[in-house]
């Protein structure tokens, strides 16, 4: 009996050891490794590779030409092969506090870092991510503060004739307080969806931290899907695992703006909200800024706070919709009702900078008051997270 038990234990230990070896594949490669001085080392075990590169937004930018224009894209760094086929690259300078994304390119094939399980999807691109803490970037981290709740919810849109999904953040204490809360509607850019702001924008972390620091009022944040032809984000609807795309119908031709009151009605019915203009804000990035501009002017009694983050301004000249008619007349009505805050933020290298500059001239010529915030760089999530941290503390004062 003892001999059988010993044999069973030996077999069990061998099985566990084998399973661990299969699971981990030997000694782990550490990547990325953030050093005390905030330089970062990236590693990849690829003994048969000829060339390994890392690309990410922590590297100097390079020009990339797309169907939508020329953009500043992530640069490249060359990894050097070392012992046991482990390739390595260390940033020549310390990185500033920020949330960074990256991926590897191995002999021309783009791949994720197998040593880093933290990944984010942006439209159809998936990248690994890491955070360098300090300063504003500490707002992007999960800190030891009271945490809000993030829910994915479905609502019916009579205007669009379908059920649709949105993401909702409720602040810490919402479930038990019995209080009514203001609502901030936060809209994504082209190709994004109701997951974009919560994943790439770190909305829940930013709101948790700003509220805990007393810099922002407790509020509900509603993140919609701005693609009026979609039920929900890719993989989250009856379409199944459909490929994400930026080429979607019903995005910037008036349909979403027309249907937006359906969202407000659902939120006011479902949550304990302040059901008045003073308790509502709307903002968005790029296409979402475009939507925010036109929804707010179309409904001048609905939103007291408006934020345009790197916003597109006007539709394509071939687009015809009542939403975009009489732009100046609708702006005159909106500003006559004195919104508490009209906020515009954009990066100096943004391809939409000139459109925003022209729009600000229009506002200036008519004496319409607004707050302007300019950053460096271009049409990137780094800027949009900054704008969120700047805009949110100004709400509902």
User: Per-residue pLDDT tens for 271-293?
Assistant: 999 999 999 999 999 999 999 99
Burial of residue 11 (CB within 10 Å: 0-12, 13-18, 19+) is exposed
Beta carbons of 277 and 301 less than 8 angstroms apart:
yes
CA 376/CA 382 separation, integer angstroms: 10
- To which CATH superfamily is domain 26-133 assigned? Immunoglobulins (2.60.40.10)
Residue intervals in the chain for CATH 3.40.50.1820: 140-394
Beta carbons of 368 and 331 less than 8 angstroms apart:
yes
CA 74/CA 115 separation, integer angstroms: 21
Q: What are phi and psi of 155, to 5 degrees?
A: -135, 160
- Mean pLDDT of the region 241-254: 88
Count of other CB atoms within 10 angstroms of residue 34: 16
Which helix H or strand E contains 296, and what residues bound it? helix 287-298
Place of tokens 């791949």: 111
Query: Which whole-number Å values give the CA distances from 89 to 28, 81, 94, 127, 313, in the listed order?
Result: 17, 9, 13, 17, 41
Pick from 72-86, 88-102, 365-379: least confident: 72-86
Query: What was the pLDDT predicted at 25?
Result: 52
Pick from 62-76, 92-106, 281-295: least confident: 62-76
Instruction: Quote the mean pLDDT of the chain.
Output: 92
Q: What are phi and psi of 326, to 5 degrees?
A: 55, 50
Residue intervals in the chain for CATH 2.60.40.10: 26-133
Beta carbons of 211 and 269 less than 8 angstroms apart:
no
pLDDT tops 70 at residue 343: yes
Place of tokens 């975009």: 324
In 3D space, the residue among 242, 248, 243 whose CA is nearest the CA of residue 229 turns out to be 248
pLDDT tops 90 at residue 396: yes
Tokens coding 90: 């260390």
Query: What was the pLDDT predicted at 17?
Result: 45
> Regarding beta strands 33-34 and 40-45, do their DSSP bridges make them parallel or antiparallel, or are they unpaired?
antiparallel
Quickly state the pLDDT bin for 246 (edges 50, 70, 90).
confident
CA 256/CA 250 separation, integer angstroms: 7
Beta carbons of 388 and 201 less than 8 angstroms apart:
yes
Going by C-beta distance under 8 Å and a sequence separation of 6 or more, which residues neighbour residue 9? none
What confidence tens digit (pLDDT) does each residue in 35-58 have? 999 999 999 999 999 999 999 999
Tokens coding 221: 């944040």
- Mean pLDDT of the region 11-25: 46
In 3D space, the residue among 268, 184, 191 whose CA is nearest the CA of residue 230 turns out to be 191
What confidence tens digit (pLDDT) does each residue in 179-233 have? 999 999 999 999 999 999 999 999 999 999 999 999 999 999 999 999 999 998 8
Tokens coding 179: 């209080």
What is the architecture of the domain spanning 140-394?
3-Layer(aba) Sandwich (3.40)
> Of all residues in the chain, what percent carry a pLDDT higher than 90?
83
Q: SS3 helix, strand, coil % of the chain, rounded to 5? A: 30, 30, 40
Chain centroid to Cα 176, Å, comes to 29
Query: What was the pLDDT predicted at 61?
Result: 77
Tokens coding 345: 């933020």
Q: What is the dihedral of CA 67, 387, 101, 134, to 10 degrees?
A: 160
Quickly state the pLDDT bin for 66 (edges 50, 70, 90).
low
pLDDT tops 60 at residue 349: yes
CA 268/CA 273 separation, integer angstroms: 6
Exposure string over 339-365, b if 16+ CB within 10 A, otherwise e: bebbbbbbbebbebbebbeebbeebee
Quickly state the pLDDT bin for 268 (edges 50, 70, 90).
very high
Angle between helices 381-391 and 203-212 (to 10 degrees): 30
Query: Which whole-number Å values give the CA distances from 288 to 188, 190, 192, 211, 282, in the listed order?
Result: 5, 8, 9, 24, 9
Q: What is the pTM of this model?
A: 0.90
> Of all residues in the chain, what percent carry a pLDDT higher than 70?
90
CA 315/CA 231 separation, integer angstroms: 23
Q: Which has the higher per-residue pLDDT, 25 or 171? A: 171
- Mean pLDDT of the region 310-322: 94
Q: Which has the higher per-residue pLDDT, 171 or 233? A: 171
Count of other CB atoms within 10 angstroms of residue 393: 15
CA 296/CA 280 separation, integer angstroms: 11
């Amino acid at each position: 009996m003892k001999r059988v038990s010993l044999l069973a234990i030996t077999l069990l230990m061998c099985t566990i050891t084998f399973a661990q070896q299969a699971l981990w594949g030997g000694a782990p490669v550490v990547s990325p490794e953030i050093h005390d001085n905030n330089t970062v080392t990236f590693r990849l075990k690829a003994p048969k590779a000829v060339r390994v590169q890392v690309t990410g937004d922590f590297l100097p930018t390079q020009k990339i030409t797309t169907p939508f224009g020329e953009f500043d894209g992530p640069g490249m760094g060359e990894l050097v092969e070392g012992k046991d086929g482990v390739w390595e690259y260390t940033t020549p300078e310390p990185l500033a506090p920020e949330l960074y994304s990256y991926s590897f390119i191995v002999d021309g094939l783009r791949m994720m870092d197998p040593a880093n399980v933290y990944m984010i999807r942006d439209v159809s691109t998936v990248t690994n991510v890491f955070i360098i803490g300090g300063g504003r970037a500490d707002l992007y981290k999960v800190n030891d503060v009271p945490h809000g709740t993030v829910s994915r919810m479905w609502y019916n849109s009579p205007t669009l004739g379908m059920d649709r999904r949105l993401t909702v953040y409720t602040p810490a204490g919402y479930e038990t307080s019995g209080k009514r809360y203001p609502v901030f509607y936060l809209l994504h850019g082209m190709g994004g969806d109701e997951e974009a702001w919560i994943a790439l924008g770190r909305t829940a972390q930013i709101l948790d931290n700003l509220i805990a620091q007393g810099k922002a009022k407790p509020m509900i944040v509603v993140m919609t899907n701005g693609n009026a032809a979609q039920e929900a984000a890719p993989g989250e609807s009856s379409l199944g695992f459909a490929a994400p795309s930026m080429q979607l119908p019903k995005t910037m031709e008036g349909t979403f703006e027309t249907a937006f009151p359906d969202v407000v009605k659902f939120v006011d019915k479902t949550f304990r909200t302040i059901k008045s203009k003073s308790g509502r804000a709307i903002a968005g990035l790029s296409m979402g800024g475009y939507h925010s501009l036109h929804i707010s002017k179309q409904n001048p009694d609905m939103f007291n706070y408006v934020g345009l983050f790197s916003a597109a301004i006007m539709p394509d000249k071939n687009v015809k919709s009542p939403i975009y008619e009489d732009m100046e007349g609708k702006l005159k009505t909106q500003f006559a009702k004195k919104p508490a805050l009209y906020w515009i933020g954009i990066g100096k290298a943004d391809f939409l900078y000139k459109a925003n500059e022209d729009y600000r001239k229009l506002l200036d010529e008519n004496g319409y008051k607004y707050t302007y915030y300019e950053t460096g760089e271009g049409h990137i999530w780094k800027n949009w997270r900054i704008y969120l941290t700047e805009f949110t503390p100004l709400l509902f004062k």
